[in-house]
Amino acid sequence: MPTFTAADGTEIAYHLRGEGEPLVVLPGGPMRASAYLGDLGGLAAHRQLVLLDLRGTGDSAMPVDPATYRCDQLVDDVEMLRARMGLDHMDVLGHSAGGSLAMLYAARYPERVARLALVTATPWALGMPAAAEDRLVAARSRQGEPWFAEAFPAFEAWLAGTGEFDRAFAPFFYGRWDDVAKEHDARGDHEFNDEAADIYHSDGAYDPPTTLSRLAQLTAPVLVLAGGLDGAPTPEVARRTADLFPNAECVVQPGAGHYPWLDDAEWFVRCVVAFLEREDAPRLRTG
């Protein structure tokens, strides 16, 4: 397991899966260990996945200062990873909350990004947080599911702030609530750093006007991938996100939830590989 030392002395771990050109993957959660990503549905057969364990998660050490869990503070760790890998520029994939980290990185270091893939990424960094009504509309579309009657009241209460996060509504995050999804969800019990998650989006993490201004100049190709059944982001929010980049495409994976590589791995991998193999981005090179 390779590691590097961050600027503040925190030991940061990352995991390599597969071979070929590297694809740096920033996990969501927020602040969930990268193990939940697996091999992204078989994407590791096409690229070497560089799965970063954000500080305080997975095999990375806890920082001395908890304030460094804030999303904008984590950008420096991503840049240290790039330097550790010896890359002049790199392809970056951000999932879920990791999409905001990926956007902040691209805004601060645009010359370091060859391609940027945002997978079911709610654009908090762009001033577009998840909306409760969007989540509820997406949830109501699942009324025909056998688990809906139990899950929806708990989900509605949580979004209204009158109830706690409840495992009962986990099915809303998946396109299929099968044994694979259940096992994936259950692993969250030991993969999340809850203290860090509370800090990730905290005050000061984002400056949307500045980020939007910088990303409007980003020349790297951008893929915004949404799940057709996901409520955060909805396909419409994903399309609006793509419109904010000068060179972006938005795709919606049919029948997919928040973890699209679990719902239809073949569709997901085919889409992401096609994007990564586009010729309108510089080839990766070490420097």
CB 276, CB 47: distance < 8 Å: yes
Give me the mean pLDDT over the 52-65 stretch: 98
Q: How confident is the model at residue 140 (pLDDT cuts 50, 70, 90)?
A: very high
Closest CA to 275 of 225, 218, 236: 225
pLDDT tens digits, one per residue of 206-248: 999 999 999 999 999 999 999 999 999 999 999 999 999 999 9
Helix or strand run (H / E) with residue 222: strand 222-227
CB 278, CB 222: distance < 8 Å: no
Measured CA distances, 201 to 30, 39, 92, 118 (Å): 8, 27, 20, 17
For residue 210, what pLDDT is reported? Answer: 98
Task: For the chain, give the mean pLDDT.
Answer: 96
pLDDT tens digits, one per residue of 3-52: 999 999 999 999 999 999 999 999 999 999 999 999 999 999 999 999 99
How many Cα neighbours within 13 Å face the side chain of 276? 24
Q: Is the pLDDT of residue 161 over 90?
A: yes
Give me the mean pLDDT over the 98-116 stretch: 98
Residue with tokens 């995050």: 173
Q: How confident is the model at residue 281 (pLDDT cuts 50, 70, 90)?
A: low
CB 254, CB 230: distance < 8 Å: no
- Residue 148's contacts (CB-CB under 8 Å, 6 or more residues apart) are 142
Residue with tokens 């060859």: 114
Give me the mean pLDDT over the 126-155 stretch: 97
Closest CA to 214 of 75, 96, 20: 75
Give me the residues paired with residue 32 across strands.
192
SS3 content of the chain, % helix, strand, coil (to 5): 45, 15, 40
Q: Is the pLDDT of residue 106 over 60?
A: yes
Q: Is the pLDDT of residue 284 over 50?
A: no
- Residue 189's contacts (CB-CB under 8 Å, 6 or more residues apart) are none
For residue 286, what pLDDT is reported? Answer: 40
Amino acid in position 178: D
Q: Tell me the backbone φ, ψ of residue 251, rounded to 5 degrees.
A: -130, 145
Residue with tokens 């929010």: 237
For residue 280, what pLDDT is reported? Answer: 67
Separation between Cα atoms, residue 25 and residue 33, nearest integer Å: 12
Helix or strand run (H / E) with residue 252: strand 248-253
Separation between Cα atoms, residue 266 and residue 32, nearest integer Å: 24
For residue 285, what pLDDT is reported? Answer: 43
The span from the first CA to the last CA of the chain, in angstroms, equals: 22
pTM of the model: 0.96
Q: Is the pLDDT of residue 265 over 80?
A: yes
User: In 3-state terms, what secondary structure has residue 230?
Assistant: coil
For residue 278, what pLDDT is reported? Answer: 82
Give me the mean pLDDT over the 134-155 stretch: 97
Separation between Cα atoms, residue 68 and residue 62, nearest integer Å: 10
Kindly give the residue spans of alpha helices, DSSP state H, lying in 145-207: 148-160, 179-186, 188-191, 194-200
pLDDT tens digits, one per residue of 169-209: 999 999 999 999 999 999 998 999 999 999 999 999 999 99
